[in-house]
Chain A
Amino acid sequence: MTEEKEEESTTGLPWPKSWKSAYILVGCNFAFWLVLLVLLGTIGQ
């Protein structure tokens, strides 16, 4: 039971440790690519 709970709350990775941080990382990663793509669209214009 405790093991199951621990599995629910941690990623088991050195970083990010919590699932919440992992989801934030995914969101930030998307924002990074979106900004990069918008900037890419301005090249040569």
Chain B
Amino acid sequence: MNELDIAVLLITVFSITAIGIWQTRKRDSLSSYLKGAKQTPWWAIGLSVMATQASAITFLSTPGQGYLSGLGFLQIYFGVPFALILISIFFLPIYHKLNVYTAYEYLEKRFDHKTRLLGAVLFLLQRGIGAGLTIYAPAIVLSTVFGWSIQTTIICCGLLVTFYTMLGGTDAVTVTQKYQLSVIFVGMITAVCLLISKLPPELSLLDAMHLAGGFGKLQAVNFSPDLNERYTLWSGLFGGTFLMLSYFGADQSQVQRYISGSSIRESRLGLLFNALCKIPMQLFILMIGVLMFVFYQFREPPLFFDSRAGASLTTFHTDFKKSHQSVKQSLETWLQAKHRGDTASSTKAFEQAKSSYLDAERVRLDAVKEVAKQKTLKTNDADYVFISFILKELPHGVIGLMVTSFFLAALSSKAAELNALGASTTIDFYMLKVNKEATDIQSLKATKIFTLGWGLVAIMIALVANFSENLIQAVNILGSIFYGVLLALFVVAFFLKRVGGTAIFWSAIVAQTLIFALYLSGTMSYLWFPLIGCSVCVILSLLLQQAINKKNPIENKA
């Protein structure tokens, strides 16, 4: 990065933060701090919901996922439209009618004290660790690539976001997210345009798609019924719907975004906007990876994108270079034959290119095995693919814009998380257990202190974090472990009126233990966890309630 890139980064990040603080400076009551001024229109809610989910990991890691594995990852989002329709119909009217600050308040109204606390604890645990991850993820990549100190990157990024979230509350999050998302999309669109312009001139976009498809990168839908396969149509539709239903319906960081709408209509439109846009948006981000894959068939890619592995892989370079050279030559022959209409030669050359590509892949996988021997590095280098491309291939100024986009994405999702963590700690613990008679000013002060506290916790988690998974998957795995049971609390609350607090509370404990065991056993794709956690919890609660009713028939009748 040169001076121009640093100027773009600093000016954009600080001006958006300043605008956010200035526009929300008069939030001096608990209600306006946690729910905003209740003037947010549907499109701002929609963007805020989108920005909360799309963290820096989405923009850094997803293109790498597309580069290495193609479009299959998109299936995780197949449940989003259905989940958001269900939330619009069932969850949203209840949250608005009860005028709650947190989703877990409803659990007390419907069940009891302990179930509300359990819901809040599950959320705080999951989101607290997640907040550390959202700050760690971009920091580890950016610090590796730019040679910055990871500790300094985590602390600077963490303190900045904690500062403006603490000052402005919900509206500060929504206002800044609006601008942040605009900059992010400008950055991503610029990257795509430049990427396309860098493809060989004789290669049309249709040819590029043919190439990517032939090399297996466009297989977005997998119909396999195998439970062990991570991304299939079925795990996406069924598991994904439960995952997204829990995330959007029971995770305070999202609930807080859409209950700040000026009316139920605005909130609902904001959710449906996301239901329409989520799949095309993720497809667009994954397609960046696919286009990078096409680009790197004509330009030698790094053997391993995390440059720290470089020195240990020198023995593989000659073979990799040879195989890649063969791919390139075959593809050039393919293009020439295609353009002169020689189908037989073009088919032969394309098959040759595919065979050489498989050779190159074998060398790469051997190199990955070598990386695995170094315990300090991750074998999955998907997180480094996009940033490596940006630094090597894009001009200065655009590099600054892209790095700014990643920073803003990190800030936007982190701000929403901190805001929700602060809100839930105040409403579900402080006002419930510590200071029941708290005045509005005391509660507001407590929320700000808790927001600051969670910001510092997230920074500390990020400073000691080490994840073996690719970042975007680590986030989803973490959510999947907790979300099923959290969702079950709400499903039972909404639809099974005969189940009481004790039955659901103990069922939730058992179901959560089962999910931990399943995760540790590694027997199935994590996308099934929310569905299993939710189903087990619901069924158990029904059985347990029946047992309680049998034991105390008179008491229950009364």
- Residues on A close to B: CB < 8 A? 7-8, 10-13, 19, 22-23, 25-27, 29-30, 33-34, 37-38, 40-45
Contact = CB atoms under 8 A, between A and B. Distances in A.
If over half of A's interface residues share one DSSP class (helix, strand or loop), that class is named, otherwise mixed; here it is: helix
B323 to A, nearest CB: 20
Contacts of A33: 279-280, 283
B264 interface: yes
A40 B213 contact: yes
B152 to A, nearest CB: 42
B378 to A, nearest CB: 29
A13 to B, nearest CB: 7
Given A33-B283, A34-B221, A40-B218, A26 B213 contact: no
Given A7-B264, A12-B265, A29-B81, A37 B220 contact: yes
B265 A11 contact: yes
Contacts of A8: 93, 264
A11 B265 CA distance: 6
Given A8-B264, A26-B81, A43 B272 contact: no
Contacts of B212: 43-44
Nearest to B217: A44
B63 to A, nearest CB: 17
Given A26-B81, A26-B272, A30-B279, A37 B209 contact: no
A8 B220 CA distance: 37
Contacts of B218: 40-41, 43-44
A44 B81 contact: no
A41 B210 contact: no
B173 interface: no
A2 to B, nearest CB: 14
B461 to A, nearest CB: 36
Given A7-B263, A8-B264, A30-B279, A37 B221 contact: yes
Interface in B195-249: 209-215, 218-221
A44 B351 CA distance: 11
B209 A44 contact: yes
A40 B208 CA distance: 12
Interface string B250-275: 00000000000001110011001001
B189 interface: no
13 contacts: A11-B268, A19-B88, A23-B89, A26-B85, A26-B275, A30-B82, A38-B221, A40-B71, A43-B210, A43-B213, A44-B209, A44-B213, A44-B218
B387 interface: no
B159 interface: no
B214 A11 contact: no
Contacts of B272: 22-23, 26
B74 interface: yes
Given A26-B85, A44-B215, 6 more contacts: A7-B264, A11-B269, A25-B276, A38-B220, A41-B220, A44-B213
Which 5 A/B pairs are nearest by Cβ-Cβ distance? A44-B213, A44-B214, A43-B213, A37-B220, A44-B210
A42 B71 CA distance: 13
Interface in B292-321: none
Contact of B268 (A19, A38, A41): A19
B458 interface: no
A33 B209 CA distance: 17
B84 interface: yes
B44 to A, nearest CB: 15
A10 B399 CA distance: 45
Nearest to B210: A44
Nearest to B264: A7
A40 B220 contact: yes
B433 to A, nearest CB: 35
Contacts of A44: 209-215, 218
Interface string B78-95: 100110110011000100
B291 to A, nearest CB: 14
Contacts of B283: 33, 37
